[in-house]
C-alpha cells in the first residue's frame, strides 16, 4: 500500500468543514477538460492557505513545453470556469505555471518521458536502508521503475513504493 496523503479541512463561509482532497478533486473535474481541449496536460494542483485568501497553483505541460501565452490563456479560461463552478469555499489567488526543471513525476507516462534523466525518488519504505534514491531513470517495465544510481547496480522499484519523485536539475 502506498503512502496516504494527509487530510486537511477548510472552513467554509457557512462554518462547515470540507475535506481538501474533495475540493481538489472538484477543481480537477473543472480543470482537466479545459486543459485537454487546449492540448495541455495537468501536471499538478496545489491548494494552500487558510483564512480569507487561499492560493491555487496549477502546473501545466505539453510536448515541447509551455510558454507564457499558454499560462495566460489557461488562467483566463480556468479562472472563469472555477468562478462558475465555485469549488473553493473562500477567495483564492490563481497561479498557472510550467512544472519547472525539477518537475514531479506522478504517472507512468511521466517516468517514460523522463527515461535517461536524473531523478530523486523518495520511498515509502527503505531499500537497503535508503529512503531516497538519486539516479538516472532507465525506463519503466509494467508498474516498476528502473533507476541506476552511481553507487549501486540498477534497481527496480514498484510505483506503489514511491512516495514522491522529481527530476533533479543537472548543472
For residue 145, the tally of other CB atoms under 10 A from its CB is 27
What would the pLDDT profile of 39-58 be if each residue is shown by its tens digit? 999 999 999 876 667 899 99
Residue 27 falls inside a structural domain: yes
What would the pLDDT profile of 46-90 be if each residue is shown by its tens digit? 998 766 678 999 999 998 889 999 999 999 999 999 999 999 888
> What CATH number corresponds to the domain at position 156?
2.30.30.100
Residue 19 falls inside a structural domain: yes
Distances (CA, A) of 17 to 8, 9, 23, 24, 116: 9, 6, 11, 14, 44
39 and 115 together in one domain: no
16 and 91 together in one domain: yes
58 and 83 together in one domain: yes
Q: Record the pTM.
A: 0.74
Number of domains in the chain: 2
Residue 89 falls inside a structural domain: yes
69 and 141 together in one domain: no
Amino acid at each position: 500500500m502506498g503512502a496516504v496523503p494527509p487530510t486537511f479541512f477548510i472552513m467554509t463561509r457557512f462554518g462547515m468543514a470540507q475535506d481538501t482532497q474533495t475540493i481538489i478533486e472538484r477543481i480537477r473535474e473543472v480543470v482537466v477538460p479545459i486543459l485537454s481541449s487546449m492540448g495541455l496536460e495537468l501536471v499538478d494542483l496545489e491548494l494552500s492557505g487558510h483564512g480569507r485568501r487561499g492560493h491555487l497553483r496549477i502546473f501545466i505541460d505539453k510536448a515541447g513545453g509551455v510558454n507564457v501565452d499558454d499560462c495566460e490563456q489557461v488562467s483566463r479560461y480556468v479562472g472563469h470556469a472555477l468562478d462558475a463552478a465555485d469549488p473553493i469555499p473562500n477567495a483564492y489567488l490563481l497561479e498557472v505555471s510550467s512544472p519547472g526543471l525539477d518537475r514531479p513525476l506522478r504517472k507512468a507516462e511521466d517516468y517514460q518521458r523522463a527515461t535517461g534523466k536524473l531523478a530523486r525518488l523518495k520511498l515509502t519504505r527503505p531499500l537497503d536502508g535508503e529512503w531516497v534514491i538519486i539516479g538516472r531513470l532507465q525506463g519503466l517495465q509494467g508498474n516498476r521503475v528502473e533507476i541506476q544510481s552511481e553507487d549501486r547496480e540498477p534497481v527496480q522499484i514498484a510505483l506503489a513504493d514511491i512516495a514522491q519523485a522529481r527530476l533533479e536539475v543537472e548543472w
